[in-house]
Amino acid sequence: MVDISEQDREYFHTEIQQSNKIDKQASTFVSIAKVFGVVSIGLLISAVVAFGVGALVFYYFALPYQDTRQISQIFVIITAVSLAALLIDSLIINFVILRGKHSILIPGIIYSVLVGTAFSMLTIVVNWSTIGMAFGITALCFVLMSLISFLSKGNMSPILLVILALFVGTGLLILADFIIAITTGRALNWLYIGISIGILAIIMFTSIYDLWRIKTIAADGMMNKSMTLYCAFVIYTDFISLFIRILYFLLIIFARKK
């Protein structure tokens, strides 16, 4: 029987701990990568649908015998129906998640398609380079927010208090703007700027918290198939919300330059 010294035991124990730590980090990375892979697929589906529907409508606009006013009305109706269906589908997704008995894969795909349909009008009225710029800035913001969330070793739960404070502050600004607009018939620019910054801050802090929560779920080994789809849905909606806001700011900036 081989006698192992106390020093050797400590060495092997340390080696095992380091090996387990590396395995856990690798597993966490793989789980997070799967989430972002699903998000990428969802964004790709939305982009293909948006540009596909937009190109189809543009083609009909180009036909000389088509009533452009009627086509515009139909397109607005399709967009409105898509937005209403998005709300219903999001409720279905959250209901399925709460029940925990079925996958949200199909509702998630439908959600991506509906987002693309709702955004298809943008591909007609907005320059594609502006859309691409907004997407690039949004992606860069998410890279930075991901680094903040994934490299942070502390508890980010207090961010919820910051989000709540931003909600309250932005809500008060919206209420003040509404009252001033009714009583004076005009809006104040500084209130409008404050509301816009507040909404953007809410989206970004919410995204940082969601990214940190996903890292925590992955690190705890809870990232099964259903949880991966749920986390991807959360990040997808955060990405779309930030994209809309950034595109909105770009359109304002470019409009003022003309």
The pLDDT assigned to 25 comes to 72
Would 210 be classed as within a structural domain?
A: yes
* Number of domains observed in the structure of the chain: 1
Closest CA to 125 of 17, 227, 254, 29: 254
CB-CB contact of 45 with 112 (8 Å): yes
pTM, entire model: 0.84
The domain of 203 spans 6-257
Helix then strand then coil, % of the chain, to nearest 5: 85, 0, 15
CB-CB contact of 28 with 215 (8 Å): yes
Would 75 be classed as within a structural domain?
A: yes
pLDDT for residue 15 is more than 70 = no
Would 1 be classed as within a structural domain?
A: no
Radius of gyration of the chain, Cα coordinates, nearest whole angstrom: 24
Model confidence at 177, pLDDT cuts 50, 70, 90, reads confident
Determine what percent of the chain is predicted with pLDDT higher than 70: 83
Quick count: other Cβ atoms within 10 Å of Cβ 133?
Answer: 15
